[in-house]
A and B are shown apart, each in its own frame.
Chain A
Amino acid sequence: MKMNGMRHEKGNNVGRLAFLAFMAILILVVLFFPFLCGGRILYLTIIGLVGAILALGTNIFFGYCGQINFGAAGFFAAGGYGVALLEKYLNLPFAINLILAVIIVGFLTLLISLCLVRMRGHGLALGTLAFALGIHASVSKGFVAFTGGEDGINLAPLILFNGSKAGDSFFYYLLVAAVAACYWVSWVLRNSRVGRAMVGIAQNETAAASVGVDIKKYLRIALVLNGVMGGLAGGIFVKWASWCAPEYFNLMCNVIILLSVVVGGTGSTLGAVVGGASMYILPQLLIALAEFHVLFYGVILAIFLRFLPRGIVGETQRLYYWLSLRRSTNRIEGR
Chain B
Amino acid sequence: MELFVITVTTGICIGVIYGLVGLSFTAIYNASKIVNFSQGVLAMVGAFVGHLFVFNAKVPLYLGVVLCMAIPAICGLWVNRFFSEPLLKRNVPLVTTFLATLAGALIIEGLVGGYTHFAYFETRFVFGKEPVTFGLFRISRQYLAIIIAAAVLCIGYWFLLNKTKIGLGINATGIDPDMASLVGINLSRTRMLAWAISCGITGIAGFLVAPLILATPLMGLPVVVDGFIAAIIGGFGNPLAAVLGGIILGLLRYFFIGYISAGLGDLCVFIALLLTLALRPQGIIRVRE
Contact = CB atoms under 8 A, between A and B. Distances in A.
Interface of A: 62, 66-68, 112, 115, 118-119, 121-123, 125-127, 129-131, 133-134, 137-138, 141-144, 251-252, 255, 258, 262, 291-299, 301-302, 305-306, 309
B93 interface: yes
A115 B99 contact: no
Interface in B80-108: 82-83, 86-87, 92-96, 98-100, 102-108
A255 B106 contact: yes
B106 A305 contact: no
Interface string B265-283: 0110011011001100100
Contact of A127 (B102, B105, B107, B277): B277
14 contacts: A67-B95, A121-B94, A121-B95, A123-B236, A125-B35, A133-B270, A141-B263, A251-B221, A255-B102, A255-B106, A291-B113, A295-B113, A305-B96, A305-B100
A115 to B, nearest CB: 4
B76 to A, nearest CB: 15
Contacts of A130: 225, 229, 270, 273-274
B222 interface: yes
A122 B104 CA distance: 17
Contacts of B221: 251-252
A66 B225 contact: no
A292 B225 contact: no
Interface of B: 35, 82-83, 86-87, 92-96, 98-100, 102-111, 113-114, 117-118, 221-222, 225, 228-229, 232, 236, 261-264, 266-267, 270-271, 273-274, 277-278, 281
Contact of B277 (A67, A126, A142, A258): A126
Contact of A294 (B83, B86, B106): B106
Contact of A112 (B35, B264, B274): B274
Contacts of B266: 133-134, 137, 141-142
A122 B267 contact: no
A66 B96 CA distance: 10
Contacts of B113: 291-292, 294-295
Given A119-B281, A251-B221, A298-B104, A125 B117 contact: no
B249 to A, nearest CB: 12
B12 to A, nearest CB: 22
Nearest to A115: B278
Contact of B263 (A118, A131, A143, A292): A143
Nearest to B106: A298
B263 A144 contact: yes
Given A118-B281, A305-B103, 15 more contacts: A66-B93, A115-B277, A115-B278, A121-B94, A123-B277, A125-B98, A126-B273, A129-B225, A130-B270, A131-B274, A141-B267, A291-B118, A293-B110, A297-B110, A301-B103
Nearest to B99: A305
A61 to B, nearest CB: 11
Contact of A292 (B87, B92, B110): B110
Given A130-B273, A141-B263, A144-B263, A122 B94 contact: yes
Contacts of B92: 309
Which of B92, B96, B107, B113 is most buried by chain A, counting CB atoms within 10 A of its CB?
Answer: B107
A295 B86 contact: no
Contact of A137 (B102, B111, B114, B267): B267
A150 to B, nearest CB: 11
Contact of A306 (B86, B118, B261, B273): B86
4 A-B pairs with the lowest CB-CB distances in the bound complex, closest first:
A295-B110, A298-B106, A298-B107, A134-B270
A138 B96 CA distance: 30
B107 A118 contact: no
Contacts of B281: 118-119, 123
Contacts of A302: 82-83, 100, 103-104, 107
B114 A291 contact: yes
Contacts of A255: 102, 106
Contacts of A306: 83, 86-87, 100
A118 B281 CA distance: 9
B107 A299 contact: yes
A293 B217 CA distance: 13
A66 B93 CA distance: 9
Contact of B264 (A142, A252, A258, A296): A142
A126 B229 contact: yes
Contacts of A112: 274
A296 B278 CA distance: 36
Which of B100, B109, B222, B266 is most buried by chain A, counting CB atoms within 10 A of its CB?
Answer: B266
A167 B101 CA distance: 42
Nearest to B95: A68
B228 A126 contact: yes
